[in-house]
Each structure stands twice: as structure tokens, then as C-alpha cells.
Structure 1
Amino acid sequence: MDPHDYWKALRKRWIVIAILGVVGGGVAYAYAESLPDSFTATSEIFVSPTQGQTTSEVLQGSTYTQNLVQSYSQLATTPAVLAPVIAELGLDTTPAKLAKAIKAETPLNTVIIQITVTDSSPELAASIANSVGASLSSAAIGLSPKNSTDVPSISMSIVTPAQPAVNPVGPNRRLLEISGVAAGLAAGVLYAIGIAVFDTRIRSPRDIERLTETPVVGNVERRRRRSPQADGITMRMAPHSLLAEDYRRVRTNLEFADVDNPIRSIVVTSAMPGEGKSTMAINIALAMAERSIRVLLIDADLRRPSIATYAQIEGAAGLTSVLVGSADLKDVIQPWAPNVDILTSGTIPPNPNQLLGSTSMARLLQTVIADYDFVIVDTPPLLPASDALTLTHMTDGALVVSLYNSTTRQRLTDALAALSGVRARTIGIVLNQTKPKARDEYYSSDVTKMVSPTADEKTPDEKPHTEALPKPSESAVAPFAELRPVP
């Protein structure tokens, strides 16, 4: 993925990212509000030596005290100091739990011990700090060395008693809320990028171009709701629609795929079933017939044939009947549309691969390619069956249909690799049923009305884009009555 893909993934799922950000902020807000306010109170104890008459003795005593003051500060969180505090204040806790709320520090190069207590009650925090200071003084004096007169070598006195705090020091609710929003947004970003990385479905021609050098010869949008081509075959139901233009672009690209050796026969296949290959074959046949050329559509999918169903014609006799010698080719080819004939699959055989790879099939294709201007062969998908691999060698190449937001990159790669493995030619790839884009309706609005439902059939929310044009008179139409398409 390049930076554009990351940006596209974030833009596509920005709503999810925003929702997760809001959820993260809401959870953090609820958590922050559930936390009680905490207050701190600090008492300071001064440690001094009790012995020394001369300046030298006083200096030695000061150095001695400074060396021991760190040990005295650590003594503040021991049970020997905290147990009397709990008993004095009647606290419902243990020395170990109380020690977590106490912090004893000694500023550098000083003999002062700072005892800081954090609690939800400012008064209780101050009481604990002062009580710890007094208990520490007793414990330290009791542990300090004594002279011959039983006088301790040090003395401790509280020089700054703790006072109840006015303002709480925690929790930092704003920081928690900002952190929650940031965590939610980060989770949304990771989700969006993770989906883009691990979701290998093809969504644009650019995805195909990264996989293979085979050109993308078409991009057919999916049918719009309430459109004239919503049911049936697009090139017949709505030949002037924008969707029909997509099929004409495929036709044009096929015509110019090889200028030196024009393509006259193709195999239409796909990687997996359900990707629209049969519908694509029918519409391409109708688009080709608009050039006033004779087109033959062959249903060579002898496993799940569908051309007869789509075309609404009889399919009992067809390709298999000719291959097994029970019918003549000219007897089973059925005219269907202007310049379009169809050879249905016929009865489904038990050995489709052997029939399609037989010499009879090769001779049949040679015959129809010589008789028709363009031949389209609808075959089974490439990955479940190998029929298309054999038929591709009998034609000018394969047109692979890929379904938008369904076909995965791995499946398309495997399908193309199967064609390449037998040295079959892949003419191009068509991305089918892509997301409709907003396109200019200028050239298709009027003609779409000609094939759209009547005014009585329209739903109330369907409104014409322009006013209805006046009906032309018979005298105006008469000069064009004899016009016919030029071959």
C-alpha cells in the first residue's frame, strides 16, 4: 500500500474512526468522573545531631546525620512507623496499603525529610502526614546510637506541620479524557488500515494493475435501482443508458486490443462462479452486433449453463447435441437478436471436459469462426474447472471477468496464473458491477425516458429532469421513415 491507499482507507471509514474517538472520550470521561478527588499534605522533619562541643565535633555530627538521613526517610514507610499511626488515627487499613499513599524524600544535600501523604480527604491526609512524622521521630531516635549517658546521637523535630490542602491534585480528568479520545481515534485508524491491508477484495482497476500486466479493458458499473436496465439484459432493455456505454467501451477496447491481428473470437470466463461472466458475454455480443457484424454466442459452460435462461430461448438441443453427432450445427443455432445468433449448451453431459477438449469441438469452432464475424464462448470459471483453459487455445484469447468487492486478489492471480501456465492468451480483464459514480446524464436523459416506465407506472418520488418534449408531427417524421442502418 502506498500513502494514497492509506489516505483512501481512512477517508472511507472516517465515520468509524470518529465514532470510536467519541466512544473512547465517553469511556474516559465516565472513568475520570468515577475517580475521587485526591489531596496531598506534606510535613517536614529536621534531623540534627545532639552531640558536639567544638566546631570539629559539630561538623562530624552533621556529616554523620546527612549520611543517615536517607535511611531514615526509607524508615517512614515501614510497619514500625505506620502501625502506630494506624492505631493512633483508627484507620481501617494495613501498613502495606498505607505505605502506598506515603512518599518520603530528602532534598539533596539537606537533613530534612519531606513526608507527603495522598488521600481523598484533605484533613485525613494532613493528620496522617503529621502522625507519620511523629512516629518516624520516635522510631528513628529509638534506633539511633546512644552515648554513655543514654542520650541519642540525633534528634528529629517537625519544622513544617502538614496543613489540609484546598485544591485537589488529582485526578487529571482533562488528560484522561484527551487520552481516551486519542486512544479511540488510534483504534479507529488501526481498524481502517487493518481492513485495507487484510481485505484483499478488488475494488478498483488500480488493484488489478498491481497484480498483473494484463490490461483492464472495461469497468462496468452495477445496475442502479429503479433504472430501465434493472431487470433483463442491459443492451436490450436500455441500449441508450450509461450502463450500456460501459459495455460499448469493452467492445471498443476489444476491437483495438490487437490492431495488426483483429480479434474475432474470445472466451469469456472468470475466477469463480457468480462474477457475471454470462451476462457480460451476452451484452458484449449485443454491443458487437451494433457494428452490423454477425455474432455467434456459444454457451460452453456445460456444468451450469445459463445463456438459454437469460435469452429466454429453448436450450434442450445445442452444443452437446452437435458434439455427440445427434444434430447438425445449422439446426441448433438459434437467431436471437439482429445480427446475434446463439448456440446453447444443450443437455448437460457427464464428461464436459472431454467434450470441450475433443477434436469435434475444435472443428466446430473453426467452422463458426469462418462463418461469423465474431464468436463469443461462455465457459466455466477457471478455478473450479479447467474447461476454459482448453477452449482459450481454440480462440484468440480469454476475457476474464472480475467482480467488484467480491473477487479477491489471490483468486484473480490464481486464475491468471492458470491461463499463463498453459500458455493461453489473456486479452484483458473486465471489472464488473463497480460502484456507480455520478456521471453526466446529458446525453442519456432523453433516450432513457423512451425506455423508462410510463407515467402511470412511476412512483410518486420519480420526477422528470426536464419537461416533456412535444410530439413531432407525421410530416416531420416521414423523411426519416425509410432510413436503415448502414452496414
Structure 2
Amino acid sequence: MEVSISFSDIWNFVKRNWWKLLIVVVLLAGVGAGMSLKVLSPTYASDSTVVISCTIPENADKDYRLQYTSILASRVNSGLALANATQIKQEVADELNVPVAEILDIKATLNQNAPSIKVTTSTSNASICAKVSDTACEILAKQLKQMFPTPELTVTMVDPGKKAVAVSSKMAAVKGGILGGGFALVVCFVFAVLKVLLDKHLRNSVFAAEALQIPLLGTAGSGKGKPHAEEYRRIRSAALLQAGEGRSLLFAPVSRNSKEGELLTGLARSLAGSKKNVLLLDADMVNPQWAAKIGVQPKASLLAVLNGSASLQDAATPTDTEGLHFLGCAAAPEADSAADLLASQSFADLLAKAEETYDYILVSTPAEESNSAADSVASVCDAVIMVARYGVTPMEQFRTSLSRIRASGGKVIGFVTTDAG
């Protein structure tokens, strides 16, 4: 498992899975919009304040006047208890002729600096929000006057409730959608980080080069219609430098679907474009497809050359690129025993003969994990280049294939990552 991670790795994962992540964002945005309409319905708050005072009789004695403060305090505390009573919600609803369910809460608090009570209400109906707090204060005033007829109480509303502006369902849905989409983006980012961090496949070519201690010769991109000529030139320069005097290069894909075909074709054309004679040799006798891919019809197969029924000169077929020839297998799979010829002296003699005519011989084999062809020819080729695909080739399989190639006598000069961005 790779233990390094960079933003480019995360970005590559996002680019490759953008449509899946987009579905997640859209779904969670829809959930957020739906919740804002059905579950998270808006609430509206309003508060009204009343001041309570007592009238002192003109003929009241001195002791009565001294008790005025405590009398007033008891009236205010009683008013607070009445305002916080559970039945006041029903009384307000009956007075306004509205469903009691629309009145979510009524609470009262004391003002420490004056004999006043602040009534705060919350409702689900914006149109009655201010009326609920005002009506609660009016009911409180009536109840206090009935409860304490003497001395006469005066209950004055000094701060009536303010009308609330209703939140439109469309705006609520938009806000909910934005919140849901934002949450989805966070979830997708965390998922991408964890996916890349815990992934056991090749995602960081530089890390793989350090971990396996082999040079990274280059990367080939995956953009459709995007020219890769510069990438192939860089890979060509790095491969030839690492190969030194070597002229036969084996390209060994680690696993199936490594996209080595596009890489090898592009590299062969790049070499031929530098005024070199190049032979592209397909050693896949199980599932030969190269001839169809590059649009040629070989006169004779690789098997015919190896068993001596055809010469290299007759079997090598020119392609549409000047200086590039192709030698491959028949359209149909060969017999199982035919693959054994790759490990025979005949194949080594074929490479030696090809070097008399061509500057470079590029050999292609099936995936090393499922076919022994790469191991069979690795020792007779001057250099071996491993091919791994970004996000597809398992790192453990890469290590195993590299060990087998080296154990077979192959000189591994580096690797190329395909489909990398």
C-alpha cells in the first residue's frame, strides 16, 4: 500500500470519477432541499414587553407606602408564573382562532432593571408571529387584574411585537440545496483522500520508483484526442539513455489492460520518426491483436519465423510509418507448445538477425501476471521496460512481476506509467 499522497493524486481521482461524485453532490443537494421544506420548516420569533405598576391610595399610611416595592414585586412574579403556564398557549390560540400547533413556544422573562415582563413566542406562521406575543401580554394583563383587584394594577405594553417576514419555500429549498451540496463536497473530498491513501494500486509513480528502486522513464496520459507526441519523445530519450548500447527492448505489462498498446505504438512511431529503422515484434501467441490495431496483414507469423518456415525479411511487414516494420503472430491463437519457442535459441537468433537490419527492436508480450512470455524472452532482450497502469496495476503485483523478470535474467531499466492523467 502506498503511504504517500499528494494533491495531484486526489485531483486525478476526482477527474476519473467526476460523474460519480457529481451524482453524490446532486443527490445530497436534493436531500437538503427536501429536508428544508418538510423537516426543517422555518420558525418565526417575536417578543412583547409589558410594564406593571400599582396605584397607591392617597390616604395610604406610611407603612403601606413602604411596602409598595414588595407588593409590586409579588405582582410581577405572579405575572411571570402566569405567562410561563402551559395553558397560555391554548388561551392565545383560542383568542386568535388559530391552531394551537402553530404556536411552538411561549416564554416569559423578568427585566432586572424595571418591573416589566418580556414575553417571547415562536411560531411556524409568520403572519401571526407578532399577534401571538401581543395577545399573550393582553391575556396576562387581564389575569393579573382579576387576580389582584387592589391595589389597582396598571399593565402597559411598552414594546409590542414586530411582524416577521415569511421565508419562501423556494428560498428555503435553495438554501437547503446549497447546504446539502456543500456537505456533499466535503464528503466527496474526504472519500477521495481516504480512497487514495488506502489504495493498493499504483497512483504515485514517483513513490513507486523509490519503493521499487527502478527509474521512472515517463508517464503517458489518458486524455482522448490529446496529442502525446511530447510524452513519447521524453520516454524515448529516457529509455535509450537507460538502455545504453541495447537495441532490443522488451515492454512487459505487469497486469492485464495496462494500455501498453498505445504506448508501444506511439514510441515505435517516435523512434521511426527520428530516422531509425524499427521492428515492432508482437510475442503474444495467445491473444494476438497487434496486426489489427496497426492495420497490417503480415505475410507470415512469428511462429513461422521461429520454426524456420519463413525468413525475417519475408515476415516483417511495413506499416504506414516510414522506417517501422511489424512482425507478429497469426490472427488465431497458436498451439500451447508454440509459446515454448520464445524460450528457445530460435528467438535469440531472431533478435540477433533483426539487429543486422533494424536499429531497434521493440518486443511486446502479454501481461506478466498471467503469461510467462515476458519471463521467457527477458534474458535475451538487451533491456526490459515494465508497463504499469495508473490506478489499475496493484503495487504488490508490480513487485512480484519485477522479481520474476529479474529472476529470469531480465535487465530492467525502468518503468512507464500509462493512463496517468
TM range (shorter): 0.5 to 0.7
Corresponding position: 1:217 with 2:218: yes
**Which of residues 179, 185, 191 in structure 2 aligns to 1:183?**
179
Quickly say closer, same or farther: Cα 1:73–1:99, change in 2 above 3 A. Answer: farther
- Asked if 2 retains the 8 angstrom alpha-carbon contact of 1:222 and 1:434, the reply is no
**Secondary structure, counterpart of 1:417 in structure 2:** helix
- After TM superposition, the structure 1 = structure 2 runs for residues 97-108 of structure 1, keeping only pairs within 5 Å, are 97=101, 100-108=104-112
Structure 2 Cα separation of the partners of residues 332 and 71 of structure 1:
113
Corresponding position: 1:266 with 2:249: yes
Residue 139 (structure 2) aligns with:
132
Comparing 361-370 and 130-139, the one that deviates more: 130-139
What's the % identity of the aligned pairs?
16
Corresponding position: 1:113 with 2:117: yes
Q: Give, as a single letter, the amino acid of the residue that structure 1 aligns with 2:136.
A: A
Residue 92 (structure 1) aligns with:
98
Quickly say closer, same or farther: Cα 1:256–1:312, change in 2 above 3 A. Answer: same
Structure 1 Cα separation of the partners of residues 239 and 52 of structure 2:
95
Residue 312 (structure 1) aligns with:
296
Structure 2 Cα separation of the partners of residues 193 and 36 of structure 1:
30
Quickly say closer, same or farther: Cα 1:390–1:206, change in 2 above 3 A. Answer: same
Corresponding position: 1:44 with 2:50: yes
Deviation at 1:107, TM superposition (A): 1.9
Structure 2 Cα separation of the partners of residues 217 and 186 of structure 1:
37
Quickly say closer, same or farther: Cα 1:110–1:385, change in 2 above 3 A. Answer: farther
- Asked if 2 retains the 8 angstrom alpha-carbon contact of 1:315 and 1:345, the reply is no
Structure 2 Cα separation of the partners of residues 111 and 344 of structure 1:
102
Structure 2 Cα separation of the partners of residues 351 and 301 of structure 1:
12
Deviation at 1:305, TM superposition (A): 0.8
- Asked if 2 retains the 8 angstrom alpha-carbon contact of 1:104 and 1:115, the reply is yes
Comparing 297-306 and 407-416, the one that deviates more: 407-416
**Secondary structure, counterpart of 2:311 in structure 1:** helix
Corresponding position: 1:366 with 2:348: yes
Structure 2 Cα separation of the partners of residues 123 and 245 of structure 1:
72
- Asked if 1 retains the 8 angstrom alpha-carbon contact of 2:254 and 2:401, the reply is no
- After TM superposition, the structure 1 = structure 2 runs for residues 146-185 of structure 1, keeping only pairs within 5 Å, are 157-160=154-157, 163=160, 165=162, 168-170=163-165, 183=179
Structure 1 Cα separation of the partners of residues 252 and 138 of structure 2:
87
Q: TM-score, normalised by structure 1?
A: 0.58
Q: Give, as a single letter, the amino acid of the residue that structure 1 aligns with 2:85.
A: T
Quickly say closer, same or farther: Cα 1:103–1:270, change in 2 above 3 A. Answer: same
Structure 1 Cα separation of the partners of residues 335 and 78 of structure 2:
93
Structure 2 Cα separation of the partners of residues 315 and 72 of structure 1:
108
Residue 417 (structure 1) aligns with:
399
**Secondary structure, counterpart of 1:301 in structure 2:** coil
- After TM superposition, the structure 1 = structure 2 runs for residues 286-325 of structure 1, keeping only pairs within 5 Å, are 286-289=269-272, 295-309=278-292, 310-314=294-298, 317-319=301-303, 321=304
Comparing 191-200 and 69-78, the one that deviates more: 191-200
Q: Give, as a single letter, the amino acid of the residue that structure 1 aligns with 2:83.
A: A
**Secondary structure, counterpart of 2:52 in structure 1:** strand
**Secondary structure, counterpart of 1:411 in structure 2:** coil
Structure 2 Cα separation of the partners of residues 11 and 255 of structure 1:
32
Residue 377 (structure 1) aligns with:
363
Corresponding position: 1:253 with 2:238: yes
**Secondary structure, counterpart of 1:302 in structure 2:** coil
Deviation at 1:42, TM superposition (A): 1.4
CA shift digits 1:37-95 (9 cap, x unpaired): 96845141527799x97669956x856875895675244243444444444x262333x
- Asked if 2 retains the 8 angstrom alpha-carbon contact of 1:218 and 1:430, the reply is yes
**Secondary structure, counterpart of 2:393 in structure 1:** helix
**Which of residues 336, 340, 343 in structure 2 aligns to 1:351?**
336
Structure 2 Cα separation of the partners of residues 67 and 382 of structure 1:
93
Quickly say closer, same or farther: Cα 1:104–1:286, change in 2 above 3 A. Answer: closer
Comparing 38-47 and 363-372, the one that deviates more: 38-47
Structure 2 Cα separation of the partners of residues 71 and 327 of structure 1:
115
- Relative contact order (alpha carbons < 8 A, sep ≥ 6): 1 or 2 greater? 2
Q: Give, as a single letter, the amino acid of the residue that structure 2 aligns with 1:363.
A: Q
- Asked if 1 retains the 8 angstrom alpha-carbon contact of 2:243 and 2:382, the reply is no
- Asked if 1 retains the 8 angstrom alpha-carbon contact of 2:251 and 2:363, the reply is yes
Deviation at 1:299, TM superposition (A): 1.5
CA shift digits 1:13-60 (9 cap, x unpaired): 8xx8xx98xx89x969x97xxx9996845141527799x97669956x
**Secondary structure, counterpart of 1:364 in structure 2:** helix
Structure 2 Cα separation of the partners of residues 318 and 300 of structure 1:
7
**Secondary structure, counterpart of 1:422 in structure 2:** helix
- Asked if 1 retains the 8 angstrom alpha-carbon contact of 2:217 and 2:235, the reply is no
**Alpha carbon RMSD of aligned pairs, Å?**
5.3
- Asked if 2 retains the 8 angstrom alpha-carbon contact of 1:270 and 1:382, the reply is yes
Deviation at 1:381, TM superposition (A): 2.3
Quickly say closer, same or farther: Cα 1:5–1:63, change in 2 above 3 A. Answer: farther
Structure 2 Cα separation of the partners of residues 389 and 298 of structure 1:
16
Structure 2 Cα separation of the partners of residues 419 and 397 of structure 1:
15
Q: TM-score, normalised by structure 2?
A: 0.65
Which residues of structure 2 form unaligned runs of 5+?
Answer: none
